[in-house]
Chain A
Amino acid sequence: MSDIKHLEKVASQTRRDIVRMVHAVQSGHPGGSLGCADLFVALYHSILKQDPSTWTMDGEGEDLFFLSNGHISPVWYSTLARAGYFEISELDSFRKLNTRLQGHPTTHEGLPGIRIASGSLGQGLSAAIGATLSKKLNSDLGYVYVLMGDGELQEGQVWEAAMFAGAKKVNNLIAFVDWNKRQIDGDVKDVLDLGDLNAKWESFGWKTMEMNGNDMSSILSTVEKAKSEDGPVVILMKTEMGAGVDFMMGSHKWHGIPPSNEQLAQALEQLEETLGDY
């Protein structure tokens, strides 16, 4: 089986996990989670230099990943579990009392794989820059990746951080923007138009690339190319919110609502169980 085929099978299972987790507690954010499932699987099953069995907060010698738009925690939890960071059965505790799988990711409960809390938007890029500077001081050649939402780019701190990384030419830093063009209140262009995103990031001193975030080949080849660039790189990642579940695609309304019993059954019919449900 080709690497791509394998990754696609993992992604299908990840999407099943996402809708089942959100359905089970009737809360959470399925839309963005489904849209970013392919990226997470590509990162944790192919791209990142990592060893889940020896995870440490400092991640010395490893690649680090930061999730800035913390509300898409279901996709991260599923990917971390299926990459071996913790038991897959723990996905059943998502958003329940005393869980390590909080509604938004946190270090507070000691879940392996999480290095900083996120949820209040706009903060992840700054943290990723800090981790990159730390690696540089430690002569550590690992890469630092961070994912932000496109609506999240309306937060001012993102541009403070973008200005810094561009001006100081921070290397080994690769940012993804989940460019699904939707946010809670509607389409991004209607809520607060981001304008020409490529031009914005370029003018802040970043190399920009685009990729199809729902295509494994596009993800793998674009990230490989980004790694060879000098200075910070932002990858504008075109995705479909709700990707993989037909009735969740094409609108912003599945940002943060759970499926009913019937909708869950309908979604699972479209997503092959490839690795066994948790």
Chain B
Amino acid sequence: MAKHENTGSKDTRSGFGEGLHELGKENENVVALCADLTGSLKMNAFANDFPERFVQVGIAEANMMGIAAGLTIGGKIPFTGTFANFSTGRVYDQIRQSIAYSGKNVKICASHAGLTLGEDGATHQILEDIGLMKMLPHMVVINPCDFNQTKAATKAIAAYDGPVYLRFGRPKVPNFTPADQDFEIGKAVLLESGKDVTIIATGHLVWKALEASEQLAEKGINAEVINIHTIKPLDKEAILKSVKKTRCVVTAEEHQMNGGLGDAVAQLLGRELPTAQEYVGVDDSFGESGKPEELLTKYNCDTADIIKAAENAIARK
């Protein structure tokens, strides 16, 4: 894509690892905790350079969340690292009581989210984490789209006082957002301007949305593409402004249709601007083993699905 150049595919988890390492150098209050997945979360650089601020908790995620909550007392900024499944569903009550309700400044950093975890299969492919976390009062939920944005988000959440869920993934994906971007929590990023349909995407599906918009253009359809890296708080103004213009919307996420970005957008539009909406996401199903791209295709989360959804949305205007 001419306007959006892939500068070399990288995994978003490595963006987290680099961001965390830089934070370690810049802010002595940043501490990191990991539940036996230091390599998978790319936390080695932080662990090696700041061993006194790195807590290896072993395979004990509930304890990790509790220790993180306790570390905030005394001014530390804890970043927990494990897979998205073990960062949310496994420890939901610990997060709810000890972190969210207690208003603790913990950054819950979750890798291997969604289908693109791949071959490990459905036990590890959580598709419900965005919903679980956005239901918790005052929890910020962020799902950046590429390496550069994940790194920027990692650094930005350290400066925000309050609990945050940061979701990223395992595979190498196109890296196309600016390396020097200012990451503003809760601020949507307009990637393509258009008038026929608004495509609102998050995480790995943002690149797919750009691919879809290019192919839609060849069909004479002019799509607006918005990257919603922050699902909560949702940038209502940006969404309403776009949808007022296009009068139809597609949401795209690597998550269940139930409870994710699509539902957040639907709730906003239902209240403020009832609009035809098509969902791209997983339809009430668990995942399975396979290559990331194969899984996105089988579970209707691919570029072709976004194109089809855009055409359906336009037809419903």
Residue numbers of A with Cβ under 8 A of B are 57-60, 64, 66, 106-108, 115-120, 122-135, 137-138, 140, 156-157, 160-161, 163-164
B94 lies within 8 A of A157 (CB): yes
Interface contact A164-B102, CB-CB below 8 Å: no
List residues of B (41-86) whose CB comes within 8 Å of A's CBs.
52-53, 55, 57-58, 60, 62-63, 65-76, 78
Q: CB distance A126 to B70 under 8 Å?
A: yes
Q: Given A127-B66, A130-B69, A133-B55, answer yes or no on A116-B74 (Cβ-Cβ < 8 Å).
A: no
- Most A CB atoms within 10 A — which of B57, B68, B73, B104? B73
21 contacts between A and B (CB under 8 A): A57-B73, A59-B73, A106-B101, A116-B73, A117-B101, A118-B97, A120-B97, A126-B62, A126-B98, A128-B70, A130-B68, A131-B74, A133-B70, A134-B71, A134-B73, A138-B74, A140-B74, A157-B63, A157-B94, A160-B62, A161-B67
Q: Closest CB-CB distance, A73 to chain B, in whole Å? A: 14
Q: Does B120 contact A (CB under 8 A)?
A: no
Query: Cβ of A117 and Cβ of B102 under 8 Å apart?
Result: yes
Q: In the assembled complex, which residues on chain B have CB atoms less than 8 Å from the CB atom of A58?
A: 73-75
Does B164 belong to the interface (CB within 8 Å)? Answer: no
B105 to nearest A CB, angstroms?
10
Task: Say if the beta carbon of B31 comes within 8 Å of chain A.
Answer: yes
| Contact in complex: B98, A134 (CB < 8 Å) | no
Contact of B102 among A107, A131, A134, A161 (CB under 8 A): A107
Most buried by A among B52, B68, B72: B72
Interface residues, chain B, CB within 8 Å of chain A?
Answer: 31, 52-53, 55, 57-58, 60, 62-63, 65-76, 78, 93-94, 96-98, 101-104
Of listed A123, A127, A129, A164, residue having the most chain B CB within 10 A: A127
Tell me if B58 and A132 are in contact (CB < 8 A): no
CA distance A115 to B102 in the complex (A): 8
Further pairs besides A123-B62, A131-B73: 10, Cβ < 8 Å: A117-B102, A123-B97, A126-B62, A126-B70, A127-B70, A130-B69, A131-B74, A157-B62, A157-B66, A161-B66
Q: A126-B66, A137-B52, A164-B57 are in contact. Are A60 and B98 (CB under 8 A)?
A: no
Distance (whole angstroms) from the CB of A254 to the closest CB of chain B: 25
Smallest distance from the beta carbon of B53 to chain A beta carbons, Å? 7
Q: A126, B97: Cβ atoms under 8 Å? A: no
Question: How far apart sit A64 and B71, CA to CA, in the bound complex (Å)?
Answer: 13
Contact B74 A134, beta carbon cutoff 8 Å: yes
Ranked nearest first, the 6 interchain pairs of A and B with the lowest CB-CB distance are A130-B70, A126-B66, A134-B74, A160-B63, A160-B60, A127-B70
Closest Cβ of chain B to A109, distance in Å, is 11
- Other-chain contact of A116, B70, B75, B96 (Cβ < 8 Å): B70
Q: Which residues of A contact B98 (CB under 8 A)?
A: 116-117, 123, 126-127
Q: In the complex, A115→B72 CA distance in Å? A: 10
A130 contacts B75, C-beta separation under 8 Å: no
A126 & B63 in contact (Cβ 8 Å cutoff): yes
Once bound together, how far apart are the Cα atoms of A271 and B97, in whole Å?
35
Q: Which residue in chain A gives the minimum CB-CB distance to B96?
A: A120
Q: Could you tell me if B73 and A64 are in contact, using CB atoms closer than 8 angstroms?
A: yes
Residues of A within 8 A of B96 (CB): 120
Note all chain B residues with C-beta closer than 8 A to A135: 74
**Which partner residue on chain B sits nearest A120 by CB separation?**
B97
Contact partner, A129, options B66, B74, B94, Cβ 8 Å = B66
Contact partner of A107 (CB less than 8 A), chosen from B62, B63, B94, B103, is B103
Asked whether, in the complex, the Cβ of A134 is within 8 Å of the Cβ of B104, the reply is: no
In the bound complex, CA of A59 to CA of B74 (Å)? 7
Q: Are B76 and A137 in contact (CB under 8 A)?
A: yes
8 Å CB contact of B69 from A108, A126, A138, A160 = A126
